[in-house]
Amino acid sequence: MNLEQVIASIRNVPDFPKPGIQFKDITTAMKNAEVLHYIADTLYEYYKDKGITKVVGVESRGFMLGSILAYKLNAGFVLLRKKGKLPAETYSINYALEYGTDELEIHKDAIEPDDVVLLHDDLLATGGSANAALQLLRKFGNNPIYVSFMIELVELNGISLLGDAKDIHSLVKF
């Protein structure tokens, strides 16, 4: 298994969820056990010595690899969800998507002052949700925050909104 095989396993869906969007579908990669193991192991190797104590997964595709990474890193896992999905008191933020707006929430007791955080999502496009997630995590203080993506769409330059992160790593770049 290698990175080229991972790239080949990602399906491109034109005009989803609206015309002009080229959706990168990771379900075709996730259903292949060998590809999933390679992705999880490669991301783990990158983060294993960073002292991460909490992995924050962004709804919903960030939950898949985020929870695997939390397990492998012996860290806690925190859900960053869309509005109204978390049962206790939350911080929330509105943000712009490349095709609309949305709102994210995180429990107010999710992060401790001494936590080293890994924020994980499946894809970095324009950076709207990742920037919103970073802003939410900053409500907890000045924790070190690493940011991880399975895929980065380089031409959309979403990384430019993430200057506040300690480190930004994308496994695959298109």
Catalytic residue, from 11, 81, 98, 103: name it.
Answer: 98
Residue 138 annotated in active site: no
Catalytic residue, from 61, 81, 105, 152: name it.
Answer: 61
Separation between Cα atoms, residue 34 and residue 134, nearest integer Å: 31
Residue 34 annotated in active site: no
CA distances from 134 to 25, 52, 118 (A): 24, 16, 10
Q: Which residues are catalytic?
A: 61, 98
